Amino acid sequence: MKMPLHPSILMAQESPTEKSIHDGLSARLSGFVLEDLLPHRRPMLLIGEILAVDSVTAVTLSKADRTWPMAGPDGVSPLIFVELAAQTAGVCNGWERIRKQGPESDQMGWLVGVKRAEFHVDLLPFDLPVTARARNTLAFEKFREVTSQLHHKDHLLAEVVLQLYQA
């Protein structure tokens, strides 16, 4: 059974990231923007901030917006969690591409299949901070399997497993 988000949760602030982690990430990403890591552009670029990234995992922060695809009068369909998971995986894999091939390397896209998706809410309210964590759990040549969890604070919103193939 899906649990609705209680209104008091909506008013809570996202817990802060440790300063040392954020400073280290800022140093590594200095001079890069999201568009360097992902082929997406607004309004399809849904990620607001990268909280952590390495060659296996990425953590991002986003807030549901009225301009997002699948937005209705009261919020966004939970199907959007699939795209947030895919873009967070793209941050990780984009970072690895830049690290191995350089910042001018081709941003070829990925074909994405949804192996499994479980949504624990019926609607994503506008302006709710969502932390997405995507981890490459299997990597073989141009194939990846990515496991993602999407949270608001301690509340699990969705779990998504993606299969990616680099085009």
Give the per-residue pLDDT at 22. 43
Give the per-residue pLDDT at 100: 72
Mean pLDDT of the chain: 78
Render pLDDT for 60-85 as a digit per residue (tens, 0 to 9).
999 999 999 999 999 999 999 999 99
- pLDDT per position as a tens digit, 52-61: 888 899 999 9
Query: Please, which pLDDT band fits residue 8 given cuts at 50, 70 and 90?
Result: very low
Helix (H, G, I), strand (E, B) or coil at 130: strand
Q: How many CB atoms sit inside 10 A of residue 105's CB?
A: 13
The pTM is what?
Answer: 0.78
Which pLDDT value is given to residue 91? 82
